[in-house]
Amino acid sequence: MHELGIAFHVMDTVEDVAKENDLTQVSSVTLELGEVSGVVFDYLADVWDWAAEKRELFYGSKLLLETIPAVTICLDCNRTYPTVRYGRTCPYCNGDKTELVTGNEINIKEIEAC
Ligand SMILES: [Zn+2]
């Protein structure tokens, strides 16, 4: 239940922000989700709808998504390339000393209040 944990974590964070800003109702939350974060967005959205019913602040709120493309850097030739297309092997020099630069993040980008 990875997605359920994420939904709760995001809601906890948004609740803190809402408290600080005197918001009583949230209409949508926009998440930035890395391409290789392993989160299934459709499932996360379902879990969100379910959890939103149980928290006053989130009644009827929508979860929106923006995808952050996954980029990997090659430590041999220092070039970056799209992770999803080439995986762990550098397409330029065939090196396998590579590191993920972006694509693993889960960020709250925007909170919309009613
Ligand atoms: Zn390389």
Look up the CATH number of the domain holding residue 52: 3.30.2320.80
How far apart are the CA of 33 and the centre of ligand 1, in A? 26
Both structure tokens of 54? 């149980």
- Classify residue 43 as exposed, middle or buried by CB count within 10 Å of its CB (0-12, 13-18, 19+): middle
Number of domains in the chain: 1
Interval 105-113 mean pLDDT: 96
How far apart are the CA of 89 and the centre of ligand 1, in A? 8
pLDDT at residue number 2: 87
Of all residues in the chain, what percent carry a pLDDT higher than 90? 97
Show the domain range for 31: 2-113
How far apart are the CA of 69 and the centre of ligand 1, in A? 19
Q: Decide if pLDDT at 1 tops 90.
A: no
CA–CA gap between residue 101 and residue 89 (Å, rounded): 14
Quick: pLDDT tens for 15-56.
999 999 999 999 999 999 999 999 999 999 999 999 999 999
